[in-house]
Chains A and B, each alone.
Chain A
Amino acid sequence: MTLSKFQIDSRYIAPLLISTILLIGNFKYGILEHPEKTATSILVSILVEILMGFLFLRKMPHLASAYVSGISCGILVRSPEWWPYAVVAALSIVSKYVIRVNGRHLWNPSNLGIVLLLLFAHESVSTLSFQWGNHVYAGLVIWALGLFIVSRLKRLHICLTYIGFFLFYSYVRTFFTGDSFLTEAAPITGPMYQLFILFMITDPKTTTQSKKAQTIVAFSVATMECILRLVGGRWGIHAPYYALTLMGPSANLIEIALQKYRPTGGISPTPVAA
C-alpha cells in the first residue's frame, strides 16, 4: 500500500475545506441564516451540471466543481427569498456551457452568476458582507488553512499577488478618499474576501494557464477593483465581483488569442467538467 493511495483527489480539497468552514461556522454562529437556502444552491448546481453534462456530453460529469459553485453561490448570495439561490446556481452552471471560446469557458461560474443577479435583481439580492461576523481568530485560522491548501494546489502566487496589491492600493486610495490605510484595508480582513481570494480568483478552470499570466491577472483584478472602489456606490460595494467579471475573461481571451496565433499553435482545451 503506497502513500499515494491515501491522497485526496485535488478537486475535492476546496469543497472539503469550504464545507468544513461552513459547518463549523453554522453550528457555532448560525452564519448561514438559512442552511436550506445554501443547500438549494448546491442541489440546483449539481442537478443542472448533470443535465448539462448529459445534454452536451452524453455522460455523467464530475460534480466537484458544481458543488463548489453551488456552495459559493449559496454562501455569497444573500436574499430573503428562495428563488435567487436557485437562479444564481443555475445561471452559474449554464454559463459554463453557453459562453465558450475555443472550448474554454471564460468566467468563473459563480462569479458571473452573482454579478448577473446584482445587475438584474439588485433589489432582491445582496452579497455576503458582515453576516459571518467579524471574528479575529476564526479569520486567522481560515486564512492559514486556506492559504496552505491553495499552496498545495500551486495557486498561492495568485492569492499573494492579489493580497499584496489590495494592500498597496489601499494605501494609494488613502490619497483619494482621505480615509486611513486601516479603513481602506479593512475589507480584506473579513470573511467575504477570504472566500473571494481563496476560492474564486484561484479557480483552475477560469484562470489563465501560465504562472506569470495568473500573476498578471491577479494584479489586474486588484487594479480594477481599486478603480471601482474609487468610483464607489454600487460598483464599489460589489467591486471584487465586478473586477473579476471584467478582468478574468479579458485575460482568458488574450491568452486564447495569443495561443491561437502562436506559430506552434493550438491550445489545450479545458473540459466542461473535468
Chain B
Amino acid sequence: MSEKDFRKTRGPWAIATVIFVGLIGFAAYRNREHAHNGGAASGLQLPSPAVADALSRYGFTLTEGAKAAGLDFSHTPPKLDPKLDPILPRVADMGAGVAVSDFDRDGKPDVYVTDSAEGSKNKLFHNLGNGKFEDVGEKLGVADVNQKGTGTSMGALFGDYDNDGFEDLLVYKWGRPELLHNDAGKKFTRVTETANLPKWMNANTSVLLDFDNDGKLDILLCGYFAEGLDLWNLKDTSIMPDSLSFAHNGTDRHLLKGDGTGKFTDVTKEVGIDTKAWTLAAGVADLNGDGFPEIILANDYGKAELWLNNGGKRFTNVADGTVIGAKAKAGMNISFGDIYNDGRLAIYRTNITESEGNLIQNNDLWLPDKPGSLTYTDEAASLGVADGGWSFGAQFADLNNDGFQDLYLTNGYISADPKDFYWFDYGKVAMGNAVLVQDASLWPPLRGRSMAGYEAKRLWLNDGAGRFTEVAQAVGASDRFDGRAVAVADLDGDGALDILVANQKGPLLLYKNKVSPDSRWLSVSLEGVKSNRSAIGASVTAFFDGQKQTQVVTGGIGFCAQNQRPLHFGLGKTSTLEKLEIRWPSGTIQTVEGAKLTLGKINEVKES
C-alpha cells in the first residue's frame, strides 16, 4: 500500500485508529481493575487496628497481640556456607514455622515455633489460660535442636506416634530431623537415634499420616535442596534448581511407616513414590472417599503431584493430565477447605504473583466436581483468591463463625531496601540455561535489595455463594512482614479462631480474633481408638441449616504449619446442629446427633 493509496483510505484509517486507541484504553482500564491489594509499604510495620465498623460489617476484628501475650519470638535465618553470602537472603529464605498442640492435655492449645540460626533455640509456648504464654521449650527439652553441625529447623509437627495420649514432636530441618517423645506432658525425650529417620536431609515440609490405616502414625518427609547436601559446608556452588519451571534436580521424599513404638521403616520405593522435586508443602486427606488418604504435594520449580492411595499399599501420581499437574509453578502451600458447604474439599496451592507484574503465576483453588471426585477445575480466579502476591502459608478457617470457611494468606519474599529491587537481577540468571541457573555463584548478589517485600496480606471472606471478599486491612491484618507459616487455633477459648503467623527474619504474630457474639460455633476434638489416637486422617461433616461442611483432621497442613487439632465449625445464626458424621481412618463411620452436642464449646468424641 503506497502513500498515494493510503490517502484514499482515510476512512478505514480513522476506524483503525479508533480501534487502536480503544484497545490501549481497554488494556489500561482492565489493568486498573487488576491492581494489587494494599500497595507498597515503606517499611516493616506492626498491624494497625481494624476499621471502626469492622465488627458489624464483617463480623470480626483482628488485633495483634503476640508480645503482650508472652509470645515473644523473632525468627533468625541460618548463615550457611560463606560461598552463598552474596545471595544468602535468597537461599536462606525459609525456616519460620509454627505448630499448635495441646502437649500437656490441659485443654488449652500451646504453640511451638522454629528458629533457623545455628545455635538458636526453638520455643514451646505453654498456654497459661489467662491470655498469657510461657516459654517452656528449654525446660521441656525441645528448644536446643539447632546445634551447630546438626542443621537448623524449618518446621515442626505434633502427633501421637505411640498412641499414649500425648502428642510427640517431629522437627524437620535442613540437616538431621529430630523426633522427641512426649513424656506425659512433663518433658520431651529425644528418640531420633532409634527412630530410623534419614540421617540428613534438607526438608522443608513434613506431614504425619496413617497411610495404611493401621492405627499407627507414619511420617512423610519431603526434601528441598538435594539430600545429603550440607549447606554449611559446600563442595561447590551448583546447588540451585536447574530450572525455575521444570527442575530436574529435585530430591527424594521419605515415607516412613511407623510401628507404633517410635521406630520407622522407609517404604517410599515400596509404595511407588518415585519422583524427585523441590517440595514445599504437602497435604493429606481422603480425596476420593475410599477410606485411604491421598497425598498432594506442592513443588517449587515444578508441577504439583497428586498421589492416589491404592488401598494403603501403593501410590500412583494421577496429577498429570489433570488441572493439578497442568502448570509448573512455585508451589508453596497446600490447604483444604469446603468452601461451598457441600462436602467437596477444595485444594488451595499458593504460588508467586509479583506485584509489578514481572511474574504472574496466581494461586490455584482446585475444586472437585463432586465429593470424592478427582476431577478438578481451577476456580481461584473466578472466586477472587488467585492473587496473593508472593504467597506462602494459607489456611481455611471460619473466622467470623458465619458458617463458611474463609481464607487467610501470608506473603512477602524479601523485605530489605524498600526502594531498591532485586527482580531484574534475579531475571538475569533465571532466564539462562540449566548449567548457569543451578550455579549459585552466578546469581547476582542481593546487596540489600528487596524482592516482593512489604506485601499486603490477604484475608478473603467467603460468602458461601462463590464470592470471596478481601478484608485483611479492614479487619486489622495489616502487617508487612515476610510471612511464611500460618496456623489457626482458638488460643483463648472464646470461640473465635485466632491466627498465628511465623515471619521470616521477623516476629511471631498473634492476631487475636474477636467475633460478633451472635454467631454460633462448636469444636470437635477426636480421639481415635482403633484409629491412631490423634485421629489424623479422620473427617468430620457437620450438618446444619440444610448444609454440610466437611473438615479433615490433618497431621500438618499449609506451609510449615500445624493448626489446632480440634476442628472448629462456625454455624452462623443457627441454633441447632443436626448431626456430625465422623469418618475414622479405621473405616468406622460414627454419627453424633446434634442433641448430644453442645454449641459454644469443645465437644470430645471418642471413636466407637
Q: Which residues of A contact B (CB under 8 A)?
A: 29-31, 33, 52, 55-57, 78-81, 83-84, 87, 90-91, 94-95, 97-98, 100, 102-103, 116-117, 120-126, 129-136, 139, 177-180, 182-184, 186-187, 189-190, 192-193, 232-234, 236-237, 269, 271-272
5 contacts between A and B (CB under 8 A): A55-B15, A78-B359, A103-B3, A121-B27, A134-B246
Report if A124-B34 is in contact (Cβ < 8 Å); known contacts: A33-B327, A95-B20, A129-B430: yes
Top 4 closest pairs, chain A to chain B, by CB: A186-B432, A121-B31, A190-B431, A134-B243
Residue with the highest number of chain B CB atoms closer than 10 Å, among A56, A79, A95, A122 = A56
Pick from A117, A131, A139: contact of B245, CB under 8 Å: A131
**Pairwise interchain contact B246-A103, C-beta atoms closer than 8 A:** no
Contact call B30/A237, Cβ cutoff below 8 A: no
Complex interface: chain A residues within 8 A of B13 (CB): 56, 97-98
B252–chain A nearest beta-carbon distance, Å: 22
B residues sitting closer than 8 Å to A (CB atoms) are 1-3, 5-6, 9, 12-13, 15-17, 19-20, 23-24, 26-28, 30-31, 34-36, 242-246, 303, 326-328, 353-362, 381, 386, 421, 423-425, 427-437, 441-445
**Residues of chain B contacted by A117 (CB below 8 angstroms):** 27
* A121 in contact with B30 given A30-B328, A126-B360, A271-B1 (CB within 8 Å): yes
Q: How far is the CB of B599 from chain A (nearest CB, A)?
A: 41
Decide: A81 and B34 in contact? CB cutoff 8 A: yes
**From B15, B34, B359, B430, residue with most partner A Cβ within 10 Å:** B34
Closest chain A residue to B17 by CB distance? A98
From B12, B34, B326, B328, A123 is in contact (CB under 8 Å) with B34
Q: Distance (Å) between the CB of A172 and the closest chain B CB?
A: 15
Take A84-B27, A124-B31, A130-B243 as given contacts and tell me if A233 and B20 are in contact as well, using a CB distance cutoff of 8 Å. no
> Is the beta-carbon distance between A124 and B3 smaller than 8 angstroms?
no
B444→A177 contact, CB < 8 A? yes
Tell me, in angstroms, the Cα distance from A186 to B428 when the chains sit together: 6
Residues of chain B with a CB closer than 8 A to A122's CB: 31, 356-357
Instruction: Report the bound CA distance from A273 to B501 in whole Å.
Output: 58
A56 and B3 form a contact (CB under 8 A): no
| Least CB distance, B13 to chain A, in whole angstroms | 7
A180 contacts which of B16, B357, B442 (Cβ < 8 Å)?
A: B442
Known: A80-B386, A87-B26. 7 other contacts (CB 8 A): A55-B16, A80-B361, A91-B24, A97-B12, A120-B31, A232-B425, A269-B2
Contact between A186 and B27 (Cβ–Cβ < 8 Å)?
A: no
Q: Is the CB of A193 within 8 A of B431?
A: yes
> In the assembly, what is the distance between CA of A131 and CA of B597, in Å?
52
A269→B1 contact, CB < 8 A: yes
User: A139: which B residues are within 8 A, CB to CB?
Assistant: 433
Contacts of A103 in B (CB 8 A): 1-3, 5-6
**Which of A81, A91, A132, A135 meets B23, CB within 8 Å?**
A91
Please, which residues of chain A bring their CB within 8 A of the CB of B30?
81, 83, 121, 124
Cβ-defined contact, B424 with A52, below 8 A: no
A105 closest partner in B (C-beta): B1
> Are A182 and B423 in contact, with the CB atoms below 8 A?
no
* Pairwise interchain contact A56-B12, C-beta atoms closer than 8 A: yes
Closest to A84 in B: B27
Distance in angstroms from B356 CB to nearest chain A CB is: 7
Given A103-B3, A183-B428, A234-B356, residue A116 in contact with residue B27 (CB < 8 A): yes
Q: Is the CB of B35 within 8 A of A123?
A: yes
B437 touches A134 (CB 8 A): yes
A130 to B19, CA, bound (A): 33
Contacts of B357 in A (CB 8 A): 122-126
Verify B437–A97 contact, CB threshold 8 A.
Answer: no
The listed residue (A56, A124, A131) touching B9 by CB distance below 8 A is: A56
A136, B386: Cβ atoms closer than 8 Å: no
Q: Given known contacts A120-B28, A121-B31, is B432 in contact with A190 (CB within 8 Å)?
A: yes
- Tell me, in angstroms, the Cα distance from A124 to B381 when the chains sit together: 13
Residues of A contacting B3 in the complex (Cβ-Cβ under 8 angstroms)? 102-103, 269
Cβ-defined contact, B423 with A237, below 8 A: yes
Chain A: CB-nearest residue to B441: A180
B503 CB → nearest A CB, Å:
25
Q: B244: nearest residue on chain A (CB-CB)?
A: A130
Bound complex: CA A135 to CA B5 (Å) = 49
Give Cα A20–Cα B421 distance, bound, in whole angstroms. 37
